[in-house]
Amino acid sequence: MNRHLRKATLVTAAVTAGLLMTACQNGSTGTGGSSQASASTTAGSQPPSKTSGTSQHSGSAATSAGNASRSQQGVNANITDGTVSYLAPGKYIVSVPGKTDRAFFVANDTQVHGAGTICGGSHCTLDQLETATRKAAVPADVTIRRGVATVVRERHSAGGGSGAKGVSGTWLGNVGYLAPGRFTVSDMKGVEQAFYVADDTKVYGAGTICGTPGSTGTSRCTLDQLEAAAKKGVSAKVVISGGVATTVAEDH
């Protein structure tokens, strides 16, 4: 009887131990599964990688570069009654009272017209423009295309703000071309006076503007003939009223 009881007790203990071991293994497996699930969830909630962030930054940089490129294209402007000052080699600024200053560049094909300060003739060099504006601001009108000046035209100091308006008198000297419809005439001291021409301006030639060279008389010429001759230079007497020439008579 005692042997049977001890045998039953051992069997019961063995069964109980087996059940406990099975329970422990199941518990470990469950914990491992939870850990894996937690790790998976954590990985899924991670923020975007640094590579993704760099791509976004590169896109922003590309946009900024595009904007900068567009801003470098320059502006178009026709500025009158301004003064031009030197900023740096090839770069100037034109100022107009009451308006924002405008910086601009010059190029090899920039046309520079003088009226006594930049140079004494109607066509000046870029070096002469730089030399004059380094000393002081020069009254000038500036035409700008895409940030580069196509024309810098000095205004004469005499006769009002535009260099021609309101001027009246008679000048005898060399007539030079400035722009369509606009000319200069120099006096004996070489000082140039700008003036305009109109449809009723009377032009007389004595062989250079028009007419027969060596002739004692004069011929009536057109404004186109005056322009062609003035581009080369011609001596004439100019009568100006209110900034507009009433008569341009070639000197014999």
Are the C-beta atoms of residues 155 and 162 closer than 8 Å to each other?
yes
With a CB cutoff of 8 Å and minimum separation 6, the contacts of 168 are 240, 241, 242, 243
Residues of the chain with CATH 2.40.50: 77-154, 169-250
What's 169-250's CATH class?
A: mainly beta
pLDDT at 73: 54
Round to whole Å and give the CA distance between 218 and 220: 7
DSSP-assigned beta bridge partners for residue 238 = 171, 248
Q: What is the DSSP letter of 189?
A: T
DSSP 45-82: TPPPPHHHHHHHHHHHHHHHHHHHHHHTT---EEEEEE
Helix H or strand E segment including 192: strand 192-196
pLDDT at 21: 52
With a CB cutoff of 8 Å and minimum separation 6, the contacts of 218 are 204, 205, 206, 211, 249, 250
Q: How far, in Å, are 104, 129, 168 from residue 122 at the CA level?
A: 21, 12, 21
pLDDT at 227: 93
Q: What is the pTM of this model?
A: 0.40
pLDDT at 196: 84
pLDDT at 178: 84
Report the topology of domain 77-154.
OB fold (Dihydrolipoamide Acetyltransferase, E2P) (2.40.50)
Q: How far, in Å, are 45, 48, 51 from residue 41 at the CA level?
A: 6, 15, 21
Which phi and psi (to 5°) does residue 157 adopt? -75, -25
pLDDT per residue, tens digit, the chain (252 aa), is 445 445 545 445 554 555 445 444 544 444 444 444 444 444 444 444 443 343 343 343 333 333 333 333 578 999 988 999 999 999 999 998 888 899 999 999 999 988 778 886 668 899 999 999 999 899 999 999 999 999 999 886 543 334 455 578 899 999 999 887 888 998 766 678 888 888 889 999 999 999 888 777 789 999 999 999 999 999 999 999 888 899 999 987
